Structure 1
Amino acid sequence: MDDSARHDALVAVASIADPQRRALLEFVARQPEPVGRDEAARALGMARGTAAFHLDRLVEAGWLVTEFQRRNGRTGPGAGRPAKLYSAASGEVSVSVPERHYDIAAELLSRAVEESDRTGRPIRPTLERVATDLGRALGSASDSMTEVLQRLGYEPVDDGADGLLLTNCPFHRVAQNHTATICGANRALLQGATEGVDEEARAVVLEPRIGHCCVRLVAAGPA
């Protein structure tokens, strides 16, 4: 997640700290059809103006979307103004501190299982190959290895010896319970990224240590 997307997600989450706004979001999300301001206000026992204000703030934050309908079925002159209706947005908002990317872990595991079923090859080497391919694509779309690491939330810092320590693991919880599997895929992902970004100055190694990712980048030795 880049800085702009992360900022937007944090703003969205902060927007539902207000209990009235959160109650409106939950009410609208539960309804099978779009909801009008009057309906929402009556359901939650709040003034129409208050409901309208909070509903519009939820739209601005990306939680809700709007449409306009004439619910009386009339059309043409004299039919009245269409009502502004609200419904839950189809997307999702997710943010974690520190940054995690369990969606990437799920994608890698799903791709590996499907390919292993299709080809009959063992799952673990298939997972690492799939991770390498994804890392290579991420690297090709980036200007530097540091950019890749920052985008994925690894929080890289110089180790003082031309290498990088990764102070955050984007797959922390899964890696704790399935260390060998996830750390192997993690290394393969970053190895692919170094190939995609054409990073020759550093090599990817497994080096578990408390408080850091199990992978780090070290200065590459002579060819």
Structure 2
Amino acid sequence: MELPEGGERTGSAVAAVAVLADDLRRGMYEFIRRARRPVGRDEAAAAVGISRKLAAFHLDKLVDAGLLCARFEPVGGIRKVGRTPKVYEPADTHIGVSIPPRRPDLLADVLLDAVLTEGEQETAAEAAMRTARERGHRLGTEERDRSRPGRLGAERTLTKAEDTLAGYGFEPDRETPTCVRLRNCPFHPLTAKSPELVCGLNHAFLRGFLAGLQARSVEAVLEPRPGECCVTLRTPPEP
């Protein structure tokens, strides 16, 4: 399973929620979900008591937000004379918004992969750490491939980390020229239930990310602070 694009996902979710703030759109969306079949504009309009023309406007807004899919198809499978009508169905997507951003799905995906790939000589915790490191490494490798090949210096690494990890809910902040604090833990409040495990997975994920970037001049270190991610990215001190 591929890692989702965090920033795009958050923006799309917020836009979808904003669209559903309108009572008419929400009513038509809920009606179409309950119908379990393609619904035409006339039927959707009747469900909320508005004109077909106004319904078309609101339905297309729901399509633009990624909540509905639309296509041209005879309603009820019966072809009539004239233009084939447009029908609507729910999109196969899950919409969720959290402020500040949370990513329990990423943590759950790491743990599921750990269960499925646990080796005979591994404990469950060791398999989880390995999987988190592999996920981070994959992300770092993908980001390195998007930029110029080769190892990144400290400044480019920290900038790349800020740009990438912001999309995953870490809220990176350049505290000093050589240090990026991660102001938000995407796995909170699960961290409170098992801080050693969750912080360890976070640390492994971010170490893997830096390894995938081939960044030798920046390290991920555990520096827990209340209300923040437990990991800081910084250049090591001069010897």
Same fold (TM over 0.5): yes
- Tell me if the contact between 1:37 and 1:48 (Cα under 8 Å) persists in the aligned partners: yes
Q: How big is the shift at 1:44?
A: 2.4
**Are 1:46 and 2:62 matched, yes or no?**
no
Q: Which residue of 1 aligns with 2:236?
A: 220
1:9-88 alignment to 2 at 5 Å? 9-71=13-75, 79-88=81-90
1:73, 1:112 → 2: CA distance? Answer: 46
Tell me if structure 1 keeps the 8 A contact 2:38–2:75. no
Q: 1:1-223 to 2 correspondence within 5 Å?
A: 1=5, 3-71=7-75, 79-116=81-118, 119=120, 121-143=122-144, 144-160=160-176, 162-221=178-237
Q: What residue identity is the alignment partner of 1:16?
A: L
1:120 Cα offset (Å): 5.8
Deviation at 1:152, TM superposition (A): 1.8
Q: In 1, Cα distance between the equivalents of 2:59 and 2:208?
A: 45
1:161 to partner: Cα distance: 6.8
Amino acid at match of 1:177: K
Structure 2 unpaired stretches of 5+: 145-159
Contact 1:148/1:193, CA 8 A, preserved across alignment: no
The answer as to whether partners of 2:8 and 2:167 remain within 8 angstroms in 1 is no
Q: Does the residue aligned with 1:111 lie in a helix, a strand or coil?
A: helix
Change (3 A) 1:128 1:47: same
The residue type paired with residue 119 of structure 1 is E
Find the aligned partners of 2:20 and 2:137 in 1 and give their Cα distance.
38
CA contact (8 A) 1:100 1:170 kept: yes
5+ residue gaps in structure 1? none
Contact 1:34–1:86 under 8 Å retained in 2? yes
- The amino acid of 2:162's aligned partner reads T
Contact 1:139 1:196 (8 Å CA) reproduced: yes
- Alignment RMSD (CA, Å): 2.2
Closer, same or farther: CA 97–72 of 1 in aligned 2, 3 Å:
closer
Distance 1:120 1:140 in 2: 27
| Separation (CA, whole Å) in 2 of partners of 1:25 and 1:73 | 22
Q: Percent identity?
A: 37
Deviates more, 1:128-137 or 1:36-45: 36-45
1:203–1:219 Cα contact (<8 Å) kept: yes
Q: Are the equivalent residues in 2 in contact too, given 1:139–1:148 (CA < 8 A)?
A: no
Equivalent residues, number: 220
Structure 1 113/3 Cα, relative in aligned 2: closer, same or farther at 3 Å?
A: closer
Q: Deviations over 1:138-173 (max 9, x none)?
A: 111124333332232212223337222110111112
